[in-house]
């Protein structure tokens, strides 16, 4: 192989290994993302992680029309989710409302108390809702630090904080870990990540289990999606609270 051919091959490998670009439609939302990371989350969750979380919630692919699109909705007989944070309402088999995250958020945050259903596609409120959800999950990761704490908050956002008594959600996962040999309840990766009472078999209408959905949620945000957002200059992003 000639020297020029080797150089062309090396260049091709570098291009193939390059991380995917940030979707261009995402940049308009970076100022409120930065604002929420600083004000609501007080720097405990980096804005790059919030951005990765939006991608996980809204993007089937980076070029899909729903990616970083505040008007997207997801509907099944069991649940309805909408927006950049996929705020969810769930229903029982009879179609009765079981859980309404939109109403819950209105009760726990002054800004979201002003949010109205007919304005549900407002991206500013949606990003606030995402940050408030993460903020309220962080106390359930008490004792963990750094990325381990953020990973637990992501698991909590997706699967709920749960109950220590019933061993559900993040609380239950940490209890199971504590009772498991060589498992540290203050560490997520290869520790709490591996222990759970969540169903390991797919529920009707799902192709993967709730356990796998929850663990994939954390891994994809922190290990697959975040790098391209970490490379962005967040310090230079203009933002204001509100």
Q: How far separated are the first and last CA of the chain, in Å rounded?
A: 60
Question: Can you tell me whether residue 71 is helix, strand or coil?
Answer: coil
CA–CA separation, 233 and 236 (whole Å): 6
Distance of CA 133 to the CA centre of its chain: 10
- Using CA atoms, how far residue 20 sits from 68, 91, 190, 219, 225, in Å, is 15, 37, 27, 17, 9
Burial 226-238 (b: 16+ CB within 10 A, else e): bebbeebebeebe
pLDDT mean over 124-144: 98
> With bands split at pLDDT 50, 70 and 90, how would you rate the model's confidence at 7?
very low
Per-range mean pLDDT, top range of 64-78, 151-165, 209-223: 209-223
CB atoms within 10 A of CB 24: 9
b or e along 34-44 (b: 16 or more beta carbons within 10 Å of the residue's beta carbon)?
A: bbbbeebbeeb
pLDDT at 2 over 80: no
Please indicate, yes or no, if residue 10 is contained in any of the structural domains.
Answer: no
Is residue 32 included in any domain, yes or no? yes
Residue-level pLDDT at 94: 87
Any domain includes 126? yes
pLDDT, one tens digit per residue, over 50-68 is 999 999 999 999 999 999 9
pLDDT digits (tens, 9 = 90+) for 150-177: 999 999 999 999 877 778 899 999 999 9
Please state, in angstroms and rounded to a whole number, the distance separating the CA atoms of residues 155 and 240. 28
- Does a structural domain hold residue 15? no
| Per-residue model confidence (pLDDT) at position 1 | 52
* Residue 156 falls inside a structural domain: yes
Q: How far apart (Å, rounded) are the C-alpha atoms in residues 154 and 50?
A: 10
Apex 52 CA angle, 19 and 91, nearest 5: 135
Q: Which string of DSSP letters, residue by residue, matches 142-200?
A: TT--HHHHHHHHHHHHHH----TTTT-HHHHHHHHHHTSTT--TT-TTTTGGG---S-S
Task: Indicate whether 123 pLDDT > 60.
Answer: yes
Q: Residue 33 belongs to a domain with what CATH number?
A: 1.10.530
The answer to whether residue 4 is domain-embedded is no
| Residue 18: predicted pLDDT | 61
The number of domains in the chain is 1
pLDDT at 141 over 60: yes
Is 16 part of any domain? no
- pLDDT given at position 240: 53
| Mean pLDDT confidence for 128-142 | 97
Q: What is the pLDDT of residue 55?
A: 98
Q: Is residue 3 part of a domain?
A: no
User: Considering only 92-96, 143-147, 228-232, which range has the smallest mean pLDDT?
Assistant: 92-96
Which of 14-18, 94-98, 192-196 reaches the highest mean pLDDT? 192-196
User: Which residues, including other chains, have CB under 8 Å from residue 2's CB and lie 6 or more apart?
Assistant: none
Residue 205 lies in domain = 23-230
């Amino acid at each position: 192989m000639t020297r020029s051919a080797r150089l062309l091959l090396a260049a091709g490998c570098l291009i193939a290994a390059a991380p995917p670009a940030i979707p261009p439609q995402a940049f308009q939302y970076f100022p409120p993302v930065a604002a929420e990371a600083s004000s609501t989350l007080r720097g405990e969750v980096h804005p790059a992680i919030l951005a990765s979380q939006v991608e996980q919630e809204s993007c089937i692919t980076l070029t899909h029309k729903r990616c970083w699109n505040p008007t997207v909705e997801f509907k099944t007989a069991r649940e309805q989710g909408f927006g950049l944070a996929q705020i969810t309402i769930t229903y029982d088999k009879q179609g009765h409302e079981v859980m309404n995250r939109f109403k819950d958020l209105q009760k726990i945050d002054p800004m979201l108390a002003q949010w109205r259903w007919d304005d549900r596609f407002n991206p500013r409120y949606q990003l606030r809702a995402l940050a408030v959800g993460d903020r309220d999950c962080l106390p359930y990761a008490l004792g963990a630090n750094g990325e381990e704490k953020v990973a637990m908050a992501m698991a909590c956002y997706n699967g709920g904080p749960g109950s220590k008594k019933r061993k559900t959600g993040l609380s239950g996962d940490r209890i199971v870990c504590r009772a498991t040999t060589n498992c540290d309840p203050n560490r997520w990766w290869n520790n709490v990540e591996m222990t759970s009472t969540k169903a390991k078999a797919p529920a009707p209408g799902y192709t993967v289990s709730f356990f796998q959905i929850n663990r994939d949620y954390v891994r994809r945000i922190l290990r697959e999606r975040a790098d391209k957002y970490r490379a962005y200059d967040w310090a230079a992003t203009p933002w204001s609270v509100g």
